[in-house]
Structure 1
Amino acid sequence: MSNNANTACISITKAGIQTTVQDLGRTGLRDLGISQAGALDRQSLILANKLVGNPEHCAGLEIVIGPVEIQFHRDSWFALCGANFAAELDGKSIAKAWRHYARAGQSLLLRGAHKEARAYLAIDGGIAVAEILGARATDLQARFGGHEGRALRKGDILPLGPPQNIGRSIGVQQRIWTPEVRAIRGPEFMQFDACARKKFWQEAWKVSSQSNRMAFRLSGDSLQRSESGDMLSHAVLPGVVQVPANGQPIVLLADCQTTGGYPRIATVIEADLWKIAQTPIGQHFCFVEVDIATALDAKKKWQRELARLNCVNSINYKPERKHV
């Protein structure tokens, strides 16, 4: 392919397992039964977009299991955030949480994660697939959005938006994953017996192999309700922790349904949802109880960190697009 406006794209040479196009998802449609979808680790996608000069809502790639290989067909700035994948640009190792420059024809190879579970690749201009219902996110359950509503395959070609003029490479320090996930009590917390309420906060919960983008199923000691009987369906959203009849918690994620009938024992705070997304299958973590004020403060802290990155990007770099 020649490097012109008609070939402003990337192609997938190796697709890995469940590599998808994701942005920040769809909002304001849950009353219609339409899920949010979008990046499970929203913070990593936002960070990658900021590094390459994109608006935070631009679409990128969510990468779960490699090897994934991508060829650039225009000169591009890119950033890889989230899980620490072994990454090479034309055979040369590159660091995550930095923006790098690729010339048309070069290939990026992601072999696998050293730790955590999901990496996010942003390219200047964003992945310019069609918007559906206000977003470019792939909804794997409903099979729409992203690229043909599915995970990527070898040979797929994805268009890119207009390139950004960025002067040189910069990097940032990423968060450190810890096995403690903050949550607030859910509406049905007191429906569980005293033993279950105590175990919920003290148990080291294991992420089950039955987990997916809809929800992470956890395994550990069974949690029993002190109140029996069915519940009416109610609204749910990402972060809600439900407990079905088997007593094993389920943490709802971006592709979750819009209503449910299981008791809600807790809700993971927005600032810590990335920790759920980055916990590999078979790993353990604990819930830590916090109040709403702490949840709001945690969100503001992350927003301040993003604001500082905006300041870094506003420095007057030389605009030439050079190889770094």
Structure 2
Amino acid sequence: MSMKVLKPGLLTTIQDTGRTGYQKYGVLGSGAMDTVSLRIANMLAGNEETEAGLEITLMGPGPSFEMTESRVIAVTGAEFALHINGEPAPLWKPVFVKENSTISFGPCKLGSRAYLAVAGGFCVPAVMESKSTYVRAGIGGFHGRALQKDDELPLGSMTQLSKTIAARLSGSAGQNGFSAPDWAVSRRGFLPLKKNPAIRVLEGTQYNAFTEEAKTRFYHEPFKVTPQSDRMGYRLKGEPLELQEPLEMVSEAVTFGTVQVPPDGNPIILLADRQTTGGYPRIAHIISADLPLVSQTMPGEHITFRPVSREEAEMLILHREEQMKELKVRIKMEWLT
């Protein structure tokens, strides 16, 4: 009961929804960059939302895997080409895959990360209550590292829902080795990807320490995502943002989406593998509803920032969570009624 890695791709790791409750000890949260896509992939595969899946970075040649036994999978995230046994396969759907089938990821059209969930999840040890991989520290996931060729990833026990989905879909799997229902989750409804996105933010603690010109520039000029960007943070390049006067700071807590400005004036967006504290001025925080959009942005694209009120930010995240709850119920009803 395993999935074999034929090609690992640029960076493929096991991630769940994150390692919470340990930042006070200096342990990072890690977890999926785009938790919405991971949660939906798990729902479609019949798993708990928080189960671990594969986060696949879609820059350069994509990975490929061999299924050593029949399982239901679901692939969500960016817009890209997916093939099973050389045939085009659907995204944002539950897909029954026969044993000895090959799953391969092709070129990416929009976005930068895909999420693959397998019924039963991946049976790897939890470290501090999470299976998420933190590569720099070598903890979590599969031996604390990115996947490599010939790795064999053990699969967990399927839920009753996963078994039901598999039973319903297995009868229609033909010579191509897979089958899927005629419905799909709308990617645009949950992940409205755009090139060069406008990202909504709240003012940061040190927002008023910046010059009026810098604040105007922050909201009206685009910033380029540089190649020096990774799961720890996106380094942006644009017209420098200046402080009114030099600012000496004690390091403070930071979170996923904090926008810091180091002395060179070019912002850094902190992401899943961020440090637990930071000593640079915080000009803004990306709202929770837009974190998946940021995480799907490719190096070379431009980001613009748009201010929103705290009330609007709360309304947007509450609306998304209501959508997620409704989707979970509808998926269960589809298979269990």
Distance 1:314 1:111 in 2: 30
Distance 1:32 1:156 in 2: 32
Which sits farther off after the overlay, 179-188 or 158-167? 158-167
Q: Secondary structure, in 3 states, of the residue corresponding to 1:309?
A: helix
Query: Which residue matches 2:104?
Result: 109
Aligned-pair CA distance for 1:99: 1.2
TM-score by length of 2: 0.90
Aligned-pair CA distance for 1:295: 1.1
In the alignment, residue 177 of structure 1 is paired with which amino acid? L
Query: Which residue matches 1:12?
Result: 5
Q: Secondary structure, in 3 states, of the residue corresponding to 2:319?
A: helix
1:154 aligns with 2:167: no
Aligned-pair CA distance for 1:161: 1.1
In the alignment, residue 23 of structure 1 is paired with which amino acid? D
Query: Which residue matches 2:286?
Result: 268
Aligned-pair CA distance for 1:318: 7.1
Aligned-pair CA distance for 1:253: 0.2
Please show how residues 227-238 of structure 1 align to structure 2 within 5 Å: 227-238=245-256
Distance 1:131 1:33 in 2: 18
Query: Which residue matches 1:46?
Result: 39
Distance 2:22 2:310 in 1: 25
Distance 1:316 1:234 in 2: 47
TM-score by length of 1: 0.94
Query: Which residue matches 1:5?
Result: none
For the 8 Å contact 1:51–1:171, the answer to whether it is kept is no
Distance 1:314 1:215 in 2: 36
Unaligned runs of 5+ in 1: 1-7, 320-324
CA shift digits 1:11-41 (9 cap, x unpaired): 1000001111100110011100000001001
Which sits farther off after the overlay, 160-169 or 8-17? 160-169
Please show how residues 219-298 of structure 1 align to structure 2 within 5 Å: 219-298=237-316
In the alignment, residue 126 of structure 1 is paired with which amino acid? G
Q: Secondary structure, in 3 states, of the residue corresponding to 1:108?
A: strand
Distance 1:318 1:23 in 2: 26
Please show how residues 169-188 of structure 1 align to structure 2 within 5 Å: 169=181, 170-174=183-187, 175-178=191-194, 179-188=197-206
Query: Which residue matches 1:100?
Result: 95
Q: Cα gap change, 1:107/1:182 in structure 2, threshold over 3 Å: closer, same or farther?
A: same
Please show how residues 291-306 of structure 1 align to structure 2 within 5 Å: 291-306=309-324
Distance 2:247 2:315 in 1: 37
Distance 2:336 2:206 in 1: 56
Aligned-pair CA distance for 1:231: 0.9
Unaligned runs of 5+ in 2: 170-180
Q: Secondary structure, in 3 states, of the residue corresponding to 1:88?
A: strand
Q: Secondary structure, in 3 states, of the residue corresponding to 2:314?
A: helix
1:62 aligns with 2:28: no
The number of residue pairs the alignment matches comes to 312
For the 8 Å contact 1:141–1:255, the answer to whether it is kept is no
Off by >6 Å, runs of 4+ in structure 1: none
Higher helix residue share:
2
For the 8 Å contact 2:37–2:77, the answer to whether it is kept is yes
CA shift digits 1:86-105 (9 cap, x unpaired): 11000110121111110110
In the alignment, residue 140 of structure 1 is paired with which amino acid? V
